[in-house]
Amino acid sequence: MDTNKRVFGFKIIFLVSVFILLNESSKCSSFGVMDDEQFKTMVEEVDNHLPSSSSSQGVYELNDVEEDEWLMVAKKGNQFVINDQPFYVNGFNTYWLMVFAADQSTRGKVTEVFQKASSVGLSVCRTWAFNDGQWRALQKSPGVYDEDVFKALDFVVSEAKQYKIRLILSLANNWDAYGGKAQYVKWGKASGLNLTSDDDFFSHPTLRSYYKAHVKAVLNRVNTITNITYKDDPTIFAWELMNEPRCTSDPSGDKLQSWITDMAVYVKSMDAKHLVEIGLEGFYGPSAPDRAQFNPNSYATQVGTDFIRNHQVLGVDFASVHIYADSWISQTITDSHIQFTKSWMEAHIEDAEKYLGMPVVFAEFGVSSKDPGYNSSFRDTLINTVYKTLLNSTKRGGSGAGSLLWQLFPDGTDYMDDGYAIVLSKSPSTSNIISLHSTRVAIVNSMCSWKCKWGCKKRNPLEAFLYHDDL
Ligand SMILES: *[C@@H]1O[C@H](CO)[C@@H](O)[C@H](O)[C@H]1NC(C)=O
Ligand SMILES: *[C@@H]1O[C@H](CO)[C@@H](O)[C@H](O)[C@H]1NC(C)=O
Ligand SMILES: *[C@@H]1O[C@H](CO)[C@@H](O)[C@H](O)[C@H]1NC(C)=O
Ligand SMILES: *[C@@H]1O[C@H](CO)[C@@H](O)[C@H](O)[C@H]1NC(C)=O
């Protein structure tokens, strides 16, 4: 069994206790702004006082208590909640978990990435629950599944729970990798349908029925390791309809809107317990011309997606946004990437509050080390910008609900790196930034009850501590 997760959990409880004590003893007067150096010292002190986990009953007991409370994530207004406590998210992406789990020689990497993630307090992972018609396919042809690969997905779900990590499972791909909508169209053509575009995926009734059959197969899967049906498993945070849907054949957005309307209700009707999100990148479309100024470029309005309208569909519980200044604005790194990141996030947080009344998760963000002008301190600045912007929302009870790094890799998987991989052991400064943010998020989650805007009586001295931003 892993010990990191327990140590991290214990650390949070310890820190919270220290805060409460300090708060009590100072009779709510501020003890001043604590900077990150002081914070680090404090965390180190906590570490030093931690008994080694193998000899500590306390740590095991804590873990047992948590075991009983492994409940479904829900939504209240613009926050996520678990058992009525807020659940702000610091998470990550690792898309290839199922494929790695399908092969005994690489299965260990799945465990390793969860272990590494949990050691820096990451609590949500987004990954693919699709692989259509390709090498190591889950779905070999419409409705036909490879049982060994499904068992690999069972392993991913079961292993995530071991490390107290919840999963956002994406059900299809817009892009060709792992099959995507193009594979569905190939299947349709092979069965004699007259299809002319990959976007027929969204509109042709037969292809819609293929997609629905896949949804049904995954949601009703009984995990062969845990015996829990996926649709009843609290390890699953949410279903994602599709990774980055775009429908360029219809810039009006109607075609994609119709597909989302059909599918969101379909998923919800089969599984009312889990949250559902679309998987959009977040571009503003024709329904909100005044928001187009926030798009990274003018092409973004032409891809058939419409952030606000799409998310008003019945059955969609929270909004998703991706952030890629380097692929949308310029590959060469500039300061404008940081400014874009902040204004893109703030615009979507505002939409989620004003028009949608739901949480928003920044479900992919990152920067490629292959970009001209890249260095690791730029990446750290980008990550800090995302975290700071979210904390600024959290502080006032806003809709910014969390973020997921693209992407976390364990050691020895460099050959899979597209430039965006973060390997914690090779990036101590990034590791520290992630860890500090996890600690802040975990403290907020454990201290604050629902609707506790950060203006309530718990304000001092935690606020200075959590939101002081000389990062
Ligand atoms: C296939 O569909 C296209 C576009 O909908 C149409 O123009 C064409 O006539 C159809 N071909 C056949 C053989 O039905
Ligand atoms: C799952 O069910 C099987 C068959 O009923 C049983 O042998 C096994 O112990 C169960 N496993 C768990 C983890 O409950
Ligand atoms: C890192 O890159 C940024 C953006 O290109 C640049 O402004 C900064 O000077 C670089 N820092 C170092 C230490 O090279
Ligand atoms: C916090 O968010 C508000 C509302 O979006 C914004 O006006 C303000 O500039 C932000 N503050 C910081 C420090 O980012």
Domains and CATH numbers, the chain: 1-68+446-471 (no CATH), 82-426 (3.20.20.80)
Ligand 1 pocket test, pick from 193, 196, 206 with the greatest ligand atom count within 8 Å of Cβ, gives 196
Q: Which ligand 2 atom is at minimum distance from the Cα of 227?
A: 1
Q: Helices in 2-72 by DSSP H: which ranges?
A: 4-25, 36-49, 57-68
Peptide bond into 85 cis (omega under 30): no
Q: Taking Cα atoms as reference points, which of 171, 123, 176 lies closest to residue 405?
A: 123
85-86: strand order across its sheet: 74-76, 79-82, 85-86
The pLDDT of residue 469 is above 90: no
For 61, residues 6+ apart whose C-beta sits below 8 A from its C-beta are none
pLDDT at 468: 60
Distance (Å, whole) CA 106 – CA 99: 9
| Lowest model confidence (mean pLDDT) among 48-57, 94-103, 124-133, 302-311 | 48-57
| Mean pLDDT value across the chain | 87
Q: Taking Cα atoms as reference points, which of 132, 153, 149 lies closest to residue 141?
A: 132
Distance (Å, whole) CA 179 – CA 210: 13
Confidence of residue 4 (pLDDT cuts 50, 70, 90): very low
Give the largest CA-CA distance in the chain. 76
Q: Which ligand is nearest to the CA of 161?
A: 2
pLDDT at 27: 26
Half-sphere exposure of 144 (CA within 13 A, CB side): 8
Q: Are 155 and 199 in contact (CB under 8 A)?
A: no
**Host H or E run for residue 85:** strand 85-86
Q: Output the six-digit token pair for 43.
A: 């965390």
The mean pLDDT value for 357-373 works out to 98
Condensed to tens digits (0 to 9), the pLDDT of residues 131-143 reads 999 999 999 999 9
- Cα 180 from chain centre: 20
Condensed to tens digits (0 to 9), the pLDDT of residues 270-297 reads 999 999 999 999 999 999 999 999 999 9
Tell me how far the alpha carbon of residue 417 lies from the centroid of ligand 3, in angstroms.
22
Q: What is the pTM assigned to this prediction?
A: 0.87
Distance (Å, whole) CA 79 – CA 101: 33
Looking at residue 455, what DSSP letter applies?
Answer: T
Q: Taking Cα atoms as reference points, which of 125, 171, 172, 118 lies closest to residue 6?
A: 118
Q: Are 279 and 225 in contact (CB under 8 A)?
A: no
Give percent of the chain above pLDDT 90: 79
The mean pLDDT value for 16-33 works out to 36
The pLDDT of residue 12 is above 80: no
Distance (Å, whole) CA 363 – CA 343: 16
Distance (Å, whole) CA 450 – CA 453: 8
Ligand 4 pocket test, pick from 338, 346, 350, 399 with the greatest ligand atom count within 8 Å of Cβ, gives 346
Tell me how far the alpha carbon of residue 445 lies from the centroid of ligand 4, in angstroms.
21
Q: Taking Cα atoms as reference points, which of 246, 241, 132 lies closest to residue 178?
A: 132
Residues 215-221: contacts with CB under 8 Å, at least 24 apart: 215/171, 215/239, 215/263, 215/266, 215/267, 215/270, 216/270, 217/139, 217/143, 217/145, 218/129, 218/169, 218/171, 219/267, 219/270, 219/271, 220/270, 221/150, 221/153, 221/154
The pLDDT of residue 377 is above 80: yes
Q: Are 301 and 261 in contact (CB under 8 A)?
A: no
| Lowest model confidence (mean pLDDT) among 34-43, 115-124, 191-200, 349-358 | 34-43
Distance (Å, whole) CA 15 – CA 31: 15
The pLDDT of residue 65 is above 70: no
Tell me how far the alpha carbon of residue 333 lies from the centroid of ligand 3, in angstroms.
9
The pLDDT of residue 442 is above 50: yes
Distance (Å, whole) CA 425 – CA 214: 37
Looking at residue 413, what DSSP letter applies?
Answer: -
The pLDDT of residue 1 is above 80: no
Tell me how far the alpha carbon of residue 256 lies from the centroid of ligand 1, in angstroms.
21
pLDDT at 142: 98
Q: Which ligand is nearest to the CA of 222?
A: 2
Q: Is 364 a catalytic residue?
A: yes
The mean pLDDT value for 8-20 works out to 50
pLDDT at 10: 46
Tell me how far the alpha carbon of residue 441 lies from the centroid of ligand 4, in angstroms.
18
Q: Which ligand is nearest to the CA of 249?
A: 1
Q: Helices in 166-204 by DSSP H: which ranges?
A: 180-190, 200-203
Q: Helices in 144-233 by DSSP H: which ranges?
A: 147-162, 180-190, 200-203, 205-219
Confidence of residue 84 (pLDDT cuts 50, 70, 90): confident
Q: Is 69 a catalytic residue?
A: no
Confidence of residue 64 (pLDDT cuts 50, 70, 90): very low
Q: Output the six-digit token pair for 275.
A: 């949250």
pLDDT at 463: 60
Confidence of residue 68 (pLDDT cuts 50, 70, 90): low
pLDDT at 239: 99
Give the closest residue (by CA) to ligand 1 atom 1.
194
Give the closest residue (by CA) to ligand 1 atom 11.
194
The pLDDT of residue 122 is above 60: yes
Confidence of residue 11 (pLDDT cuts 50, 70, 90): low
Q: Other C-beta atoms within 10 Å of 61: how many?
A: 10
pLDDT at 464: 58
Q: Taking Cα atoms as reference points, which of 387, 312, 398, 393 lies closest to residue 77?
A: 398
Distance (Å, whole) CA 110 – CA 127: 11
The pLDDT of residue 200 is above 60: yes
pLDDT at 69: 81
